[in-house]
Amino acid sequence: MKYLTLVLKSALRSKRRTALTIISVALAVFLFASLRAVLDGFNAGAEASSSTRIVTIRSTSLIFSMPTSHAETIRAVPGVRDLTWANWFGGIYKDQQHSFANFAIEPESYLRVYPEILLTPDERQAFLADRTGCIVGDGLARTNGFRVGDKVTLKVGIPTYGTQDYDFTIRGIYRAGSGAVDNQSMMFHWKYADERSVVKGQLGWIVAQIASPEQEPQIAGTIDEKFANSPYETKTDTEKQFASSFVSMFGNLNLLLGSIAIAVVIATLFVAGNTMAMSVRERTTEIAVMRTLGFPGGTIFGLIAVEALLMSIVGGAVGVVLARVVVNPHVIPSGGFIPEVSVNDLNVAIGLALSAFIGIVAGLIPATLASRLKIVDALRRVA
């Protein structure tokens, strides 16, 4: 503690340089925490998915649909306990910028198969009873100020669903009971969309509830076999694989975002290291004087290292606070493609640890050089 004044005053000797270093670390940590939050969001669905739900889609791509008769065939497969389906509706609310994910679902079975969609009994009943009713996630409701009873109009985004706008009444605001369900979506009756569709009786994906995860390979194989060599061949996977494939539509995000984060951190490491090296070089005489006064090399090392660590951790703290304020579902809605993006406590801890790592590495070489300074040479160099 008795060295604190010395460390603080040394760190603040060039306020502009210190501020720039702190800002660079803050930006690095901000980016790192934000990118991690986005990755977490993308991966949350897969992580939290149920192991007793399997999803059937067209083997060609998720964007192609299949007939309702597939549902009946799958329901008859041994081991399938329950079943539901959904379609990606792609409706546009106001404009593309304000849009959110919206799905046509078979309401009764969907709420049964996904007990994580939490509604009050009244809301559930009201939704099931109203063919033009819809439910919205609490995150989406917060973002758009939706309340139960509000009217919502969606423009048609995919021509298959006709040309006329769809009017809905919000009958419930659901909470997500797990990461498998995002709270940024809107869901409504599949029949409402189907009756206006150009091609009737089409399903986007079918979700089957099975008794145990061990049965998955066998049941999935049986399902896909049933539709082999038909015009609508299928591909059945676990919900986790389905969620992962949904994410992979955006490319290899883990690699892309991870690479960006690492590049930023390395660049910042060089900036912080250079700053500390410059700072120590400027203080060569002072360090020599302190050594003359009797300061051991270890103490000099500690003072420089703590100074670098302090600057970096302050930067890290600013970065994580910034990330928490900016990466906020109110400000950056994820559009319903992924659960709410937020910088959680783990990301904060990792961000701070990262800033500490930057500080330690950046201070290591300057601190070592300062501690090994040859006093006479250093005094002679300046005098």
Partner 1 sequence: MALIELRDVSKSYHRDQNEIVVLNGVTIAIGAGDFLALMGPSGSGKSTLLNLLAGIDRPTRGSIRVGDTDISGLSERALAAWRARHIGFIFQLYNLIPVLTAFENVELPLLLTPLSKKQRRDHVMTALGIVGLSDREKHYPRQLSGGQEQRVAIARAIVTDPTLLLADEPTGDLDAKSAAEILTLLQQLNRDYKKTIVMVTHDPHAAERASHVLHLEKGSLVDTAVHA
79: left (phi over 0), alpha (psi -120 to 50) or beta: left
Q: Which stretch binds partner 1 (CB under 8 A): 138-146, 185-193, 211-219, 374-382?
A: 374-382
One-character DSSP codes across 330-375: TTS--TTSSSPP---HHHHHHHHHHHHHHHHHHHHHHHHHHHT--H
Helices 284-293 and 253-282: angle between axes, nearest 10 degrees: 70
Number of residues counted as binding partner 1 (CB under 8 A): 25
16 binds partner 1 (CB under 8 A): no
Q: Which of 20, 38, 1 is nearest to 261 (CA)?
A: 38
Give dist(CA 320, CA 37) in Å, integer: 11
278 binds partner 1 (CB under 8 A): no
Q: Which stretch binds partner 1 (CB under 8 A): 4-12, 29-37, 131-139, 263-271?
A: 4-12
Considering only residues 51, 125, 252, 285, which one is a binding residue for partner 1 as defined by CB under 8 A?
285
3: number of Cβ within 10 Å: 14
Q: Which stretch binds partner 1 (CB under 8 A): 9-17, 129-137, 189-197, 220-228?
A: 9-17
346 CB-side CA count, 13 A: 4
Tell how strand 66-67 and strand 53-58 pair up: unpaired
| Beta carbon nearer to partner 1, 10 or 143 | 10
Considering only residues 116, 150, 237, 286, which one is a binding residue for partner 1 as defined by CB under 8 A?
286
Amino acid at 129: A
| Beta carbon nearer to partner 1, 8 or 353 | 8
15 binds partner 1 (CB under 8 A): no
280 binds partner 1 (CB under 8 A): no
Q: How far is the CB of 369 from partner 1 (least distance, A)?
A: 15
| Beta carbon nearer to partner 1, 339 or 366 | 366
Specify the residue for token string 């969309």.
193
Per-residue binding string, partner 1, 287-306, x by CB under 8 A, is --xxxxxxxxxxx-------
| Beta carbon nearer to partner 1, 138 or 286 | 286
376 binds partner 1 (CB under 8 A): yes
Considering only residues 9, 81, 147, 381, which one is a binding residue for partner 1 as defined by CB under 8 A?
9
Entry field: residues in the chain: 383
CA distances from 194 to 11, 107, 169, 176, 261 (A): 67, 13, 18, 26, 44
One-character DSSP codes across 204-269: SEEEEEES-GGGHHHHHHHHHHHTTTSTT-EEEEEHHHHHHHHHHTT--HHHHHHHHHHHHHHHHH
CA distances from 123 to 134, 139, 150, 188, 207 (A): 10, 17, 13, 13, 23
Specify the residue for token string 């007939």.
67
| Beta carbon nearer to partner 1, 34 or 279 | 279
Q: Which stretch binds partner 1 (CB under 8 A): 7-15, 46-54, 331-339, 358-366?
A: 7-15
Task: Please report, as residue ranges, which positions from 40 to 69 form the binding site for partner 1 (by CB under 8 A).
Answer: none
Q: How far is the CB of 373 from partner 1 (least distance, A)?
A: 11
| Beta carbon nearer to partner 1, 10 or 50 | 10
5 binds partner 1 (CB under 8 A): yes
Q: How far is the CB of 288 from partner 1 (least distance, A)?
A: 8
Task: Please report, as residue ranges, which positions from 161 to 180 form the binding site for partner 1 (by CB under 8 A).
Answer: none
Give dist(CA 31, CA 25) in Å, integer: 10
Q: Which stretch binds partner 1 (CB under 8 A): 3-11, 166-174, 251-259, 356-364?
A: 3-11
| Beta carbon nearer to partner 1, 191 or 372 | 372
Could you list the residues that contact partner 1 (CB under 8 A)? 2-3, 5-6, 9-10, 12-13, 285-286, 289-299, 375-376, 379, 383
